[in-house]
């Protein structure tokens, strides 16, 4: 069977839910037994997401092979329970650089290099390469149809449909229907215009997903069908739900799976969605005990800045028949004078990753407080580094610090890795992706993982300096996980505490809603 391609585009406004829609469609197809891959084509001229500000764009997700990507890849991995690679994240900047490098190498034989066909061909090649070997390849085009920077990608998928055949491609357009309070009605005109924009670009949607925060009257759906030339049964109302993990079942109930199967000539067997239904029941249960977790954050401007961390905490709670109440704590506002009041009532503390000195002292305060008060603590990347600094200061090294924050510190507990010291370029130069870690056999971490040999994803430049290991051990904090090739500290834990554990890697990236990462699970089990 040749690969089938599903293209997901958006209209009216950004953040309409294309990523969740694409991931949910993938989940439906995987539940039918098909081998599914998924890709995000982002119109930004950045090379990758590594240098994007999380306060504007949300978290930077990291794949197993070290790609720094848009957060939608996190949704994809969680919904499909697969590990994606660099090929699943394609930004315009990467495509344009490739085209320019090819021109410099003389690959175009002196021809004038243009958006069409050279850039659009490169985009199509990236899509075809990512879809090779899969039954279905889903491609989400970022941004909104009509955006200047999206034009080349939209043209590329228009051409792609002709190259592989209409029956091998399917277009899903996600639009938003605003609600006017004054007239108490859902308006379809912006959605109609968004479909018109797509059709003017040469793409006729096969499925129209109508997102809204309110119920959509049948008359509005019929009007959308008429003006968009999409069959009424393929105009799918999708109101905002209490949990995104309800979306696969909702799309299946609305007939999306059947429409796709008929379009591609797939068998009509029903998907096995029992695991999704069980997850939805757990997420929406009102019977579970609530646990209060403090997230010591420095990026507070965007709710998706710690998307994978939030989902990992929730998943661990659901697995233990609990429900998470996550309190965001502003790290910049946290001091030794107010820490008791700021963290009052918390049953667990999570310190996530981050870069730069802003808010770091507050994170050290939180780690110190958790260590001294024996409050369950989980540190992620920077969260491990501040834990080590905190314990070093408890040991009497009052000016202990990271050279990232204080290059002249007398006690550089955390320092720059040797291979980072001569770098002058920021993007893509960190320790990125999967690295092996060997855990001490009797450690809490090994018991949680059920093995002493693990691989987890990294994104950092600085490391713990092993010369301070004895000082940490004297205070009860031990290195229990190391990189077998470099000896770098990967996991530290305090066995005398209820749960004080931190990793240099990012365990949130491998956590799944139905299979939480062991370190998050250990945190919740300790409460």
Report whether 490 contacts 481 (CB < 8 A). yes
Report whether 382 contacts 356 (CB < 8 A). no
Q: What is the pLDDT of residue 419?
A: 55
Distance (Å) of CA 294 to CA 261, 369, 377: 44, 12, 10
CA dihedral 133, 25, 513, 296 (to 10 degrees): 100
Helices 18-31/72-80 angle, 10° precision: 20
Distance (Å) of CA 84 to CA 75, 109, 124, 503: 11, 35, 19, 22
* Unique residue bearing structure tokens 């994606």: 84
C-alpha 376/C-alpha 322 separation (Å) is 16
pTM recorded for the entire structure: 0.94
Given the residues 75, 118, 460, 506, select the one marked as catalytic. 506
Q: What is the pLDDT of residue 424?
A: 47
Report whether 351 contacts 358 (CB < 8 A). no
C-alpha 251/C-alpha 235 separation (Å) is 11
pLDDT, tens digit, for every residue of 138-196? 999 999 998 888 999 999 999 999 999 999 999 999 999 998 888 889 999 999 999 99
- 506 carries an active-site annotation: yes
4-279 fold: Rossmann fold (3.40.50)
Report whether 172 contacts 206 (CB < 8 A). yes
- 214 carries an active-site annotation: no
Q: What are phi and psi of 67, to 5 degrees?
A: -80, 135
Q: What is the pLDDT of residue 55?
A: 65
Q: Residues 212-219: contacts with CB within 8 Å, 24+ apart?
A: 212/176, 212/177, 212/178, 212/179, 212/186, 212/237, 212/238, 212/239, 212/240, 213/179, 213/239, 213/240, 214/177, 214/179, 214/186, 214/239, 215/186, 215/239, 216/177, 216/186, 217/186
Q: What is the pLDDT of residue 422?
A: 53
pLDDT, tens digit, for every residue of 376-411? 999 999 999 999 999 999 999 999 999 999 999 999
The domain locations on the chain are 4-279, 285-525
Given the residues 381, 411, 437, 463, select the one marked as catalytic. 381
Which of 343, 387, 391 shows the shortest CA–CA distance to 367? 387
**H/E/C letters for each residue in 115-150?**
HHHHHHHHHHHHHHHHHCCCCEEEEEECCCCCCHHH
Q: What is the pLDDT of residue 307?
A: 95
**Same CATH fold, 285-525 and 4-279?**
yes
Contacts with 373 (C-beta within 8 Å, 6 or more apart), sequence order: none
pLDDT, tens digit, for every residue of 405-460? 999 999 999 998 665 555 544 555 688 999 999 999 999 999 999 999 999 999 99
C-alpha 293/C-alpha 470 separation (Å) is 31
Bridge partners of 336?
A: none
Structure tokens given for 338: 């107010």
3-state helix, strand, coil in the chain (%, to 5): 40, 25, 35
Which of 338, 341, 346, 388 shows the shortest CA–CA distance to 368? 388
- 411 carries an active-site annotation: no
Q: CA gyration radius for the chain?
A: 25
* Unique residue bearing structure tokens 């890795």: 417
C-alpha 176/C-alpha 10 separation (Å) is 9
285-525 fold: Rossmann fold (3.40.50)
Intervals of the chain under pLDDT 50: 424-425
Q: What is the pLDDT of residue 58?
A: 82
């Amino acid at each position: 069977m040749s690969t089938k391609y599903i293209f997901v585009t958006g209209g009216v406004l950004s953040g309409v839910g294309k990523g969740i829609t694409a991931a949910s469609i993938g989940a439906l197809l995987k539940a039918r037994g098909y081998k599914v891959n998924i890709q995000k084509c982002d119109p930004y001229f950045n090379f990758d997401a590594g240098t994007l500000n999380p306060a504007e764009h949300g978290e930077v997700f990291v794949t197993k092979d070290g790609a720094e990507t848009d957060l939608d890849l996190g949704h994809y991995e969680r919904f499909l329970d697969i590990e994606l690679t660099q090929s699943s994240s394609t930004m315009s900047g990467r495509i344009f650089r490739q085209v320019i490098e090819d021109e410099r190498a003389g690959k175009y034989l002196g021809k004038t290099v243009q958006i069409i066909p050279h850039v659009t061909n490169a985009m199509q090649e990236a899509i075809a390469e990512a879809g090779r070997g899969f039954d279905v390849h889903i491609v989400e085009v970022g941004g909104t149809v009509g955006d200047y920077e999206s034009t080349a990608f939209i043209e590329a998928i228009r051409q792609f449909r002709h190259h592989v055949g209409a029956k091998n491609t399917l277009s899903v357009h996600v639009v938003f229907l605003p609600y006017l309070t004054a007239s108490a009605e859902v308006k379809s005109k912006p959605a109609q215009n968004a479909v018109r924009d797509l059709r003017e670009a040469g793409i006729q949607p096969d499925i129209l997903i109508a997102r809204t925060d309110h119920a959509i009257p049948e008359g509005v759906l019929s009007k959308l069908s008429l003006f968009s030339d999409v069959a009424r049964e393929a105009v799918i109302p999708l109101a905002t739900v209490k949990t995104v993990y309800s979306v696969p079942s909702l799309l299946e109930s609305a007939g999306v799976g059947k429409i796709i199967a008929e379009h591609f000539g797939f068998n009509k067997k029903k998907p096995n969605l029992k695991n999704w239904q069980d997850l939805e029941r757990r997420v929406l249960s009102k019977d579970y005990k609530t646990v209060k977790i403090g997230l010591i954050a420095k990026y507070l401007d965007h709710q998706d800045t710690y998307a994978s961390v939030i989902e990992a905490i929730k998943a661990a709670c659901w697995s233990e028949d609990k429900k998470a109440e996550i309190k965001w704590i502003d790290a910049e506002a946290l001091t030794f004078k107010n820490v008791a009041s700021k963290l009052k009532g918390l049953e667990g503390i999570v310190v996530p990753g981050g870069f730069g000195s802003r808010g770091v002292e507050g994170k050290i305060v939180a780690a110190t407080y958790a260590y001294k008060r024996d409050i369950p603590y989980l540190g992620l990347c920077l969260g491990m580094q501040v834990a080590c600094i905190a314990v070093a200061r408890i040991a009497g090294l009052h000016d202990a610090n990271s050279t990232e924050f204080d290059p002249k510190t007398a006690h550089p507990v955390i320092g720059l890795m040797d291979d980072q010291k001569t770098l002058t370029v920021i993007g893509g130069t960190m320790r990125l992706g999967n690295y092996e870690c060997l855990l001490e056999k009797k450690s809490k971490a090994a018991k949680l993982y059920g093995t002493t040999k693990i691989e987890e994803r990294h994104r950092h430049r600085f490391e713990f300096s092993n010369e301070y290991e004895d000082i940490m051990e004297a205070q009860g904090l031990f290195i229990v996980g190391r990189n077998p090739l470099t000896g770098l500290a990967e996991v530290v834990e305090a066995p005398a505490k209820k749960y004080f554990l931190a990793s240099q890697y990012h365990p949130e990236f491998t956590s799944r809603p139905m299979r939480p990462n062991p370190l998050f699970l250990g945190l919740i089990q300790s409460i």
